[in-house]
Structures are given as structure tokens and as C-alpha cells.
Structure 1
Amino acid sequence: MTPKLVAGIEPPYYTAVFTSIRPDAPEGYAETASRMRRSVEEIPGYLGHESARTPGGIGITVAYFRDLESLDAWRLHTAHQEAKAYGREHWYDSYSVHIGRVERSYGHERA
């Protein structure tokens, strides 16, 4: 599968940047992550996300939302709150979340 970046979103929009440190492949993580991907895609105003993880356990996920209301809908989503609580207890050594408003966006794709 060729990776694809989220592109072509007209600003302004919002990002939730989740950075974390966790062991590689903890039990139950992949299933929960897949379930969360399906759930967030149902949130009106969700625009997409990109993720990367190093072999050493540092991960970054950037999720894009049209407005703060859609981002808050995801933050308050019951299954998401349950997954976050479980992750704090069982998976993540540490994490941080950064919320930002995007004023300008551009990119490049080789033809």
C-alpha cells in the first residue's frame, strides 16, 4: 500500500496532534486503533489523519477537523474516552495533545 497524505483542505481548519511513547504492538492496541479509526470517520467535520511511529516507540498522529465542534465531538465520544482511559493505564508511557488552528496549508506531489 502506498502511503497517502491528507491534502487539499481549505483553511481554516483544526488539528489535534497526538504524540506518544508506547511499546511496539501492545496487546489489544491494533484492534482498538482500528475501531477508533472507524468511529472518528463517522464524526461530521472529520477530515482525515496521518500517523507515524518509530521503531523505538515514539508516535505522532495528526487528525484534521473542520471546526472545534467536530473536534470536541471526537474528544467527548464515549468509545474514544474509554480507549484513552485504557491507553493511559495499559499502553502509553507518556503522551501529549496539541490543538491548533491551521491558517495556511500547501503541499507538493511529484507527478
Structure 2
Amino acid sequence: MTPKLVADIQPPYYTAVFTSVRPEAPEGYSETSSRMQEIVRDIPGFLGYETARTPGGIGITVAYFRDLESLDAWRLDTEHQAAKAYGREHWYESYSVHIGKVERSYSFERE
């Protein structure tokens, strides 16, 4: 299966870029990650996400939202807040979050 990128979103929209350092497969992470994916998909205005991880433990997830209200709904979700707190305590060595407004975007896909 070829990975599918998020594309063809009409600007403006917003991104939340989450960059982290953590061990490869900490206990409970996979289950929590799956649950967070379920929750965010139900937020009106959520457009999709892409994620990648290096063998050295650096991960990057970019989530796309139609507007700041939908991004704030994700940030303020109680299960998401609990997962973030647990992650700081048990999984992550460090992380950063960058919020941006996309004013222009384009894509390419080989036929």
C-alpha cells in the first residue's frame, strides 16, 4: 500500500505541527494514539493528518484544521488533555507544538 498524503485542501486552513522525542514503543502508547485518532476525526473542521518517525525516536505529526475553532476543540478535548499529561509524565523526552495558518498550498502525485 502506498501512503496517502493530505492534499487538495483549499486555503486558508491551520496546521498543528507536533514534533517529539520518545522511545520506540512505550507501553500503552499505541492504544492511546489510536484513541486520539478516533477523537480528532469526529471534530468538525478536522481535515486530516500525516505522521512520520525516525529510527532514532524523533516523530512529527502534522494535523490540518479548517479554522482555529476546530483546532481549539482538539486542544481542549478532555481525553486529549489527559493523554498529553500522561505523555509528559511517561512517554516523551521532549516535544514542541507549532500552530500555523496556511495561505497557499499545492501538491503533486505521479499517475
Which stretches of structure 1, 4 residues or more, deviate above 2 A after TM superposition? none
The answer to whether the aligner puts 1:6 opposite 2:3 as a matched pair is: no
Report sequence identity in percent: 80
Q: Deviations over 1:21-68 (max 9, x none)?
A: 000000000000000000000000000000000010000000000000
CA distance in 1, matches of 2:109, 2:2: 13
Q: Structure 2: where are the runs of 5+ without partners?
A: none
Q: TM-score, with normalisation over the residues of structure 1?
A: 0.99
Give 2:94's aligned residue: 94
Give 1:110's aligned residue: 110
Q: Deviations over 1:46-98 (max 9, x none)?
A: 00000000010000000000000000000000000000000000000000000
CA distance in 1, matches of 2:80, 2:88: 12
CA distance in 2, matches of 1:29, 1:11: 33
**C-alpha displacement at 1:7, in angstroms?**
0.4
Cα RMSD for the two superposed structures: 0.4
Task: Count the aligned residue pairs.
Answer: 111
Q: Structure 1: where are the runs of 5+ without partners?
A: none
Give 3-state SS (helix, strand or coil) of 1:64's partner: strand
The answer to whether the aligner puts 1:16 opposite 2:16 as a matched pair is: yes
Residues 19-58 of structure 1: matches in 2 within 5 Å?
A: 19-58=19-58
Give 3-state SS (helix, strand or coil) of 1:47's partner: strand
**C-alpha displacement at 1:2, in angstroms?**
2.0
CA distance in 1, matches of 2:4, 2:27: 27
